């Protein structure tokens, strides 16, 4: 379980986040949503320690993030960020094997079981055929799948992902998020995911934190956060919500179009 209390961050004189609280729940997927510039990625970085909030604190399974050493942090938190390692000279297989590092002792070589975990992780994201290829030569979507495989190879209890569907086509967007959801449902991980696509958030997230102007505009179960009036206020777009066969879908259009139709 990850809990955060009173987190804040500024870039120069610009306030990005102020007084943010959140808590993950075991075996569930928590989505971080909100318009561009509202601090979603910054909040994720605070949660895994890439940034240190001047206020508040972050705890992982009851221990403050600052008290965990790098190896123990890596055993508990697996992170997938957008900008990682695009020009690496490593092969895909070598990149995924890096995920096993926290499980090895100092100067210990990878064991057969480590290679098995890495291979299985590539298989799970549909990238087993890429194992021998140079990582730097992959497309954006292929790199993203490999980075997720590396995170899975860590076998951490918490998975944190910054826009994991970026650069992926529709099929792999759903396959990757279905994998993330499946890991949570099986009790293997608790996940925190930054998403821009609210329909993907509706389908795959159990809980949401909606950020607006650097603060938490709403938090709770997905269906309670994705309310049209609230989304209209935060995003500045007209929203229509449909519940079809037990699934929530959102339709969007510019406010000026919506206002025109209402007055026509």
3-state secondary structure of 82: coil
pLDDT recorded at residue 263: 44
pLDDT at 247 over 60: yes
Instruction: Give residue 256's pLDDT band: very low, low, confident or very high (50, 70, 90).
Output: confident
Query: What is the helix (H) or strand (E) element at residue 32, kind and residue range?
Result: strand 29-33
Number of other residues whose CB lies within 10 A of the CB of residue 109 = 7
pLDDT at 89 over 50: yes
pLDDT at 258 over 60: no
Please give the average per-residue pLDDT across 118-143, as a whole number. 90
pLDDT at 94 over 90: yes
pTM score: 0.88
pLDDT recorded at residue 80: 92
Mean pLDDT of the chain: 90
Please give the average per-residue pLDDT across 57-81, as a whole number. 91
Query: What is the helix (H) or strand (E) element at residue 224, kind and residue range?
Result: helix 222-225
Number of other residues whose CB lies within 10 A of the CB of residue 140 = 11
Domains of the chain: 2-222 (3.40.50.300), 227-264 (no CATH)
* Token pair recorded at residue 148: 């997720």
pLDDT digits (tens, 9 = 90+) for 141-182: 888 889 889 999 999 899 999 999 887 889 888 988 998 898
Separation between Cα atoms, residue 224 and residue 31, nearest integer Å: 13
Nearest Cα neighbor of 226 from 246, 259, 194, 251 is 251
């Amino acid at each position: 379980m990850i809990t955060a209390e009173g987190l804040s961050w500024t870039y120069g004189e610009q306030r990005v986040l102020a007084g943010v609280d959140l808590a993950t729940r075991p075996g569930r997927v928590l989505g971080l949503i909100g318009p561009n510039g509202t601090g979603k990625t910054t909040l994720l970085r605070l949660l895994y320690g890439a940034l240190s909030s001047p206020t508040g604190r972050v705890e992982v399974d009851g221990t403050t993030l600052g008290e965990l050493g790098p190896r123990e942090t890596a055993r508990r938190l697996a992170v997938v960020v957008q900008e990682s390692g695009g020009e690496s000279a490593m092969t895909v297989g070598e990149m995924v094997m890096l995920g096993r590092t926290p499980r090895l002792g100092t100067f210990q070589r990878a064991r057969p079981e480590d290679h098995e975990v890495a291979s299985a992780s590539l298989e799970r994201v549909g990238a087993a055929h890429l194992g021998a290829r140079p990582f730097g030569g992959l497309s954006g979507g292929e790199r993203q799948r490999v980075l997720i495989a590396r995170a899975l190879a860590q076998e951490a209890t918490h998975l944190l992902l910054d826009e994991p569907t970026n650069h992926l086509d529709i099929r792999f967007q759903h396959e990757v998020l279905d994998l993330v959801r499946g890991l949570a449902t099986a009790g293997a991980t608790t996940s925190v995911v930054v998403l821009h696509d609210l329909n993907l958030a509706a389908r795959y997230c159990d809980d949401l934190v909606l950020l607006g102007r650097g603060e938490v505009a709403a938090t709770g179960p997905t269906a309670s956060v994705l309310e049209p009036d609230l989304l209209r206020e935060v995003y500045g777009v007209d929203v229509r919500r449909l519940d079809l066969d037990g699934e929530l879908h959102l339709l969007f259009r510019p406010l000026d179009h919506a206002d025109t139709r209402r007055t026509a």
